[in-house]
Structure 1
Amino acid sequence: MISIENRNAVTDLLAAATLRLDEDELESWVECFEETAVYRILSRENVARGLPLPLFQCDNKNMLRDRVLSLRKANVTNPHRDCHVAGLPALEAEADGTISVTSSYALYQTDPDGVGRLFSVGRYRDRIRIAGSAAKFIERVVIVDMFSIPTMLSTPI
């Protein structure tokens, strides 16, 4: 059983992470993760076949920080705004005290001319640890249903 306080901490984390991505606050998005957290993006096809090859992977928070820094300073990307639409999370308590969370998402992107399009749909599979009243990601796995990404995968999903 997951207490209402822990449920609230998890949903607060999910909402904060989504809002920070949509507001292009990537530096504060990274703060939603523990230092040893893993963030990876996999195709649904690879997951179904048991193939571990990710489209993208960061093995700790420093790698996430580096990715954000490279987006800000070095990479040339397609200018856009993100808008995530997230489904209600399903929570499950794990024996080690963490919480597993599964939720669906749709990610829309709008270009500088105001033209929007569906960029990606899929599921988040998260492992979250709660310390005190704060929840943080231990692992965030994004499973994309659309194997073909229409443009460069630059910002986090």
Structure 2
Amino acid sequence: MIERLETLTSGNLPAAADLRVLTEDVRSLYEDVAWHLDDDQVERFPDFFIDDCSYQVVSRENFTEGLPQATIYCDGIAMVRDRVIALRQTQVYVPRAWRHFISGVRVMAVVDGQLHVSANFLITEAMSDQDPTLFLVGQYLGILVRVDGQLKFRQHLAVYDNHHVRRSLIVPV
């Protein structure tokens, strides 16, 4: 179940120094995920989630209207893993390279020890025989928890602003 944006912005924030440290931890998580995806190491993607997780890629319109349709929908770590297995074992696609650019990383609230976070993303795609193009742009909304000292996603939403997705969403965003 997606927690609404209004919920993500309610809660307490720690003192400024602690908030800076938390924000850097969140930035590091997003950059680690992006690096592995850009390096075609999608098998590592599930490592960034807890077992009871939600991962969705959804249009801004559907998110704003509370509509249930998501372009990618994974409820639980098994579905996240299945997404990677399907990518590697069943899908055939033209070789391509992605680059993730992440900015505006913010801790919006800390609720019951969970970080409610947001960040902007821009993803480019380069096909093997074409110049790079803008693939997706939008906002990550997440709920993070610490497991053995590492931040992991309980909820990871990629809410994209594109009017439409020009090509298939093959790899996780």
TM (norm. structure 2) is 0.84
Query: How much is the aligned-residue C-alpha RMSD, in angstroms?
Result: 1.5
Instruction: Quote the residue 1:53 is aligned against.
Output: 69
1:11-48 deviation per Cα after TM superposition (whole angstroms, max 9, x unaligned): 22111111111111111121011111110011111122
* Structure 2: tracts of 5 or more residues without a match: 1-13
**For 2:149, which of 104, 127, 133 is the aligned residue?**
133
Instruction: Quote the residue 2:104 is aligned against.
Output: 88
1:99-151 deviation per Cα after TM superposition (whole angstroms, max 9, x unaligned): 01111111100111252100111000011002342110111011010131101
How far is 1:56 from its partner?
A: 1.3
- Structure 1 position 109 matched with structure 2 position 120: no
How far is 1:9 from its partner?
A: 2.8
Instruction: Answer whether contact 2:113 2:145 (CA < 8 A) is retained.
Output: yes
TM (norm. structure 1) is 0.92
**For 1:23, which of 36, 39, 45 is the aligned residue?**
39
Match of 1:42, SS? strand
Aligned mates of 2:131, 2:165 — CA distance in 1? 17
Instruction: Answer whether contact 2:23 2:105 (CA < 8 A) is retained.
Output: no
* 2:83 maps to amino acid: R
* Structure 1: tracts of 5 or more residues without a match: none
Aligned mates of 2:29, 2:67 — CA distance in 1? 29
> Among the aligned pairs, what percent are the same residue?
27
4+ residue runs of structure 1 moved beyond 4 angstroms? Answer: none
Instruction: Quote the residue 1:118 is aligned against.
Output: 134
* 1:71 maps to amino acid: L
Instruction: Answer whether contact 1:77 1:152 (CA < 8 A) is retained.
Output: no
Instruction: Answer whether contact 1:6 1:133 (CA < 8 A) is retained.
Output: no
Instruction: Answer whether contact 2:62 2:69 (CA < 8 A) is retained.
Output: yes
